[in-house]
Structure 1
Amino acid sequence: MTLRFSEVCIDAHDIHALSAWWSTVLGWPAEPTEDGDVALRAPAGAGPDWLFLAVPDGKTVKNRIHFDFTPDDQQAEVDRVLGLGARHVDIGQGEQSWVVLADPEGNEFCILSAK
């Protein structure tokens, strides 16, 4: 048996707004699916596609899984995504080399130090 990691499913109150935001952040194209969801198609070698699924409720607690991104320039990327509508969040991380942010629906993600 062989499994291939093909999609990350993300619940969203507004799949169109949130997928458009992440499409801008990542530079990945967004497209509607036959089921009425929205998919972000990852470029080859960039990981799995992201599938945004509509849910009626908003996010209420800290994510149990989140994304870490490694930039070329950490501060430039933090500034860029903050300018697009991300916000700083404190999940108890303390002083670290990474920056914890949240997308417009409150989903946490980290921008790591540049490698």
Structure 2
Amino acid sequence: MAISLHHIVIDAHDLPGLARFWADVPGWEILSEREREVVVGTEPGAPIGICFMPVTEVKAVKNRLHLDLTPGAGPGEREAEIERILALGARRVDVGQTGDESWTVPADPEGNEFRVVRAERTLIG
């Protein structure tokens, strides 16, 4: 028997707002919007999406899981994407970086950290 990843689930206070942010970052769309669940993805038949579920508690510590995003490989694309993501409502955060990393750490509008990494050719490169 095989099992597949279906959704990455993110807890949220403002489901529609956070879903719009995460749909805009990779250029996805909102696929389903219900009172207690919003799903974004590339298209309705996509194998994986991001699902937003409501919580009442405030995020208090660094994420135990984060997303790595890879921009295009052209000159300046990484910095341009970081600036675009910041304009969408993210902010830069410090999680102990030294400044020598090949990635930058922003947080989404609700404080969930993620990384914008250098362009990779493979998942293990």
TM-score by length of 1: 0.89
- In structure 1, the gaps of 5 or more residues are none
Q: In structure 2, what is the Cα distance between the partners aligned to 1:100 and 1:54?
A: 24
- In structure 2, the gaps of 5 or more residues are 121-125
Partner of 2:88: 84
Q: In structure 2, what is the Cα distance between the partners aligned to 1:8 and 1:25?
A: 15
Instruction: Tell me if 1:2 matches 2:2.
Output: yes
Aligned residues: 113
Q: Percent of aligned pairs with the same residue? A: 42
Deviations 1:67-109 (A, max 9, x none): 0011011101001011111111000121111100000000000
Q: Do the aligned residues in 2 keep the contact of 1:12 with 1:58 (CA within 8 Å)?
A: no
RMSD of aligned Cα (Å): 1.8
Q: Do the aligned residues in 2 keep the contact of 1:66 with 1:108 (CA within 8 Å)?
A: yes
Partner of 1:97: 102
Q: In structure 1, what is the Cα distance between the partners aligned to 2:79 and 2:47?
A: 24
Partner of 1:113: 118
Deviation at 1:41, TM superposition (A): 2.0
Letter in 2 for 1:110: R
Q: In structure 1, what is the Cα distance between the partners aligned to 2:97 and 2:48?
A: 27
TM-score by length of 2: 0.83
